[in-house]
Structure 1
């Protein structure tokens, strides 16, 4: 059995420290803030990111430089026989496409997974990959197992402010103004490869109810009978996040809920104060 390295990027929400605990190698995602380069969880903490966001700094996401990705892989291949690389969804970034192109120079030693995941659902895929590697699967077998489940996940997000959706061009300035006056809260969804509008409701309480109802429907009907992980994420305060987790535990008492901050690449587009709930099918060994 070959020795497999599991690689992901910081979009998964896995920190460098957590990666070491899990035996996962994490490539930090680059951000440009007022023209200066920062690396997630290396030179850019969650706290610093939100401070800069609140200060109206110009923030843009980027992808790791191809040369740096190859250098990362080359270093690992001195110690491992194969690499399974799990980047964020190809529908949300060109990171995945670039990695697939680069992997063609590695004679099958690097397998890039394109399973349309981001943030907490991407993290689930990484944990599945670790389990599969421990069970003796090859990098190709792990890739095939993860891609076979690529549509077996769902994320719902609600935002506290329309400012960042307006800034990113996802809603018009007029719609943002009307929405703010009427206290409209959009509920967004990620199903597969895109971030789309799901519903518009009045107030925070109704937004949370809409997400809970949508998730219950998915678990009962869309994924009925399948073994699912239930996940929560946030860009809000720790107190609000704790309260959200408690609401989820009340609504879904048969699930253990894993909660993490939303990755900065998503937070960048939706701003602070957001809440999310997600589920992902657990891969069979």
Structure 2
């Protein structure tokens, strides 16, 4: 009989209540700031990270989880009698964490023999709860008695279709992190420009710039509406940093009324992603057409 262990890294931003409810293991990404080191999920919350970003001129740096950390996780699962292990990991193009998980798989198989425990590690090709909610779905399927093959098939299908649009309300933090120049930030802020990025298949690319806060919400939802597949059958995901409730409510209303999602869930963006976007970030995740 299959006994399946499910793990992901902390950048998946799965809320703690769901982690505990579904028995998902979280491998932490490390953050450093001001001479201190934090384990994402365990030592620092999204709200604490937002305050840190707002109060400090220094942007936290992140460090991938190491192969040794993953190997320890695999060994613990094996010692508990697990026959299969599933890992869904942050975008391999933007972090070495996925490669570390794969290296640990090879190390485990060298130590215990190939097939001692079946391990499948997925490169999510994306960030935050955009892939975190797929991990939760996998854990739900495990609880329902679904097979390893069925669960991995659903993960593979969903990762091939999930995408998102991300917007930021200020350029200040992109300037702090060096992602844009001081001059570009000055001009952009003077003109009230708000960039929108397409989060798709391992890349995050600016695809538009709008003027004004209301235009950002409208612009994101317009782009989602053009790509989403059967929104009436989907639960849209609203991701956010330290964004005022009225702005979140506006985006959620547009998701429900203009796009027509069956339902909407909200999820806070975690520290490792906020360190790159800044706290005033918002995103909408959904399922589009399958990618090869």
> Could you say whether these structures have the same fold, taking a TM-score greater than 0.5 normalized by the shorter chain as the test?
yes
Deviation (angstroms), 1:267 = 1.0
When the two structures are superposed, what TM-score results if normalisation uses the length of structure 1? 0.89
Aligned residues: CA RMSD: 2.4
- Aligned counterpart, 1:66: 67
After TM superposition, which residue ranges in structure 1, 4 or more long, deviate above 6 angstroms? none
- Aligned counterpart, 1:100: 102
CA–CA separation in structure 2 for the residues paired with 1:141 and 1:169: 43
> 50, 67, 88: which one pairs with 2:90?
88
Deviation (angstroms), 1:138 = 4.8
SS class of match (2:286): strand
CA–CA separation in structure 1 for the residues paired with 2:232 and 2:155: 15
CA contact (8 A) 1:2 1:82 kept: yes
CA contact (8 A) 1:3 1:82 kept: yes
CA–CA separation in structure 2 for the residues paired with 1:228 and 1:17: 22
Instruction: Output one character per residue of 1:101-121: Cα deviation in whole Å (capped at 9) or x when no partner.
Output: 211233342211123132122
CA contact (8 A) 2:8 2:25 kept: yes
Deviation (angstroms), 1:30 = 1.1
CA–CA separation in structure 2 for the residues paired with 1:241 and 1:97: 35
CA contact (8 A) 1:99 1:112 kept: yes
- Aligned counterpart, 1:274: 281
After superposition, the Cα gap between the structure-2 partners of 1:266 and 1:76, relative to the gap in structure 1 and judged at 3 Å, is same
After superposition, the Cα gap between the structure-2 partners of 1:156 and 1:17, relative to the gap in structure 1 and judged at 3 Å, is same
CA–CA separation in structure 1 for the residues paired with 2:230 and 2:17: 35
Deviation (angstroms), 1:137 = 4.8
- Aligned counterpart, 1:232: 238
Unpaired runs of 5+ in structure 2? none
- Aligned counterpart, 1:258: 265
- Aligned counterpart, 1:75: 76
- Aligned counterpart, 2:46: 46
Q: After alignment, is 238-247 or 178-187 more displaced?
A: 238-247
Size of the aligned set, in residue pairs, is 280
